[in-house]
Structure 1
Amino acid sequence: MSQTHSKSRQQAEIAFGDAQTQFFARNSAVEELDSLVRAREEKTLRLREARMAKEEHDRTAATASLLAKRAKIR
């Protein structure tokens, strides 16, 4: 049994389908952007931690070098 709808109902159904398609496309784009932002933030955090570890290592090495020079002088 097929249902026949008025022309205005058919137009409304088509418009609703288009709106849903746009809504889901926008949500997909937003999710993709969120994923990119998360990946960028994670990379930034990893790089910051690596830089801080290197700076700490460099400070420790410089301190050890200065202590060794002082020990030689005395």
Structure 2
Amino acid sequence: MTENYSKLRQQAESAFGKAQSQLFERQRALDDLNSIVIARNEKTQRLREARLAKELQDRVASAAKSGSKSARKS
């Protein structure tokens, strides 16, 4: 069942369809960018936590090492 639309209506439908598809594409691109930003932030947080844990471990090891040196000198 095909309906006959006026040329003006067909042009309006076509323009609306293009606008809608552009909107959906833009939204999809933004969603992709947002997921990249979220993943990057999560990775940065994991790396920061790992670095801080290693720095703490190094400080504890350094303190233990210097503590044993001073104990030997006494």
- Could you tell me how far 1:6 is from its partner in structure 2? 1.1
Q: Is residue 2:49 matched to residue 1:49?
A: yes
Counterpart-to-counterpart distance in 2, 1:6 and 1:33: 41
Query: Runs of 5+ in structure 2 lacking a partner?
Result: none
Describe how 1:10-49 pairs up with structure 2 within 5 A. 10-49=10-49
How many residues of Structure 1 are paired with residues of Structure 2 in the alignment?
Answer: 74
- Could you tell me how far 1:2 is from its partner in structure 2? 3.0
Runs of 4+ in 1 over 6 A off after TM superposition: none
TM-score by length of 2: 0.95
The alignment's C-alpha RMSD in Å is 0.8
Query: Runs of 5+ in structure 1 lacking a partner?
Result: none
Percent identity reads: 54
Counterpart-to-counterpart distance in 1, 2:69 and 2:3: 94
TM-score by length of 1: 0.95
Counterpart-to-counterpart distance in 2, 1:40 and 1:25: 23
Q: Is residue 2:72 matched to residue 1:72?
A: yes
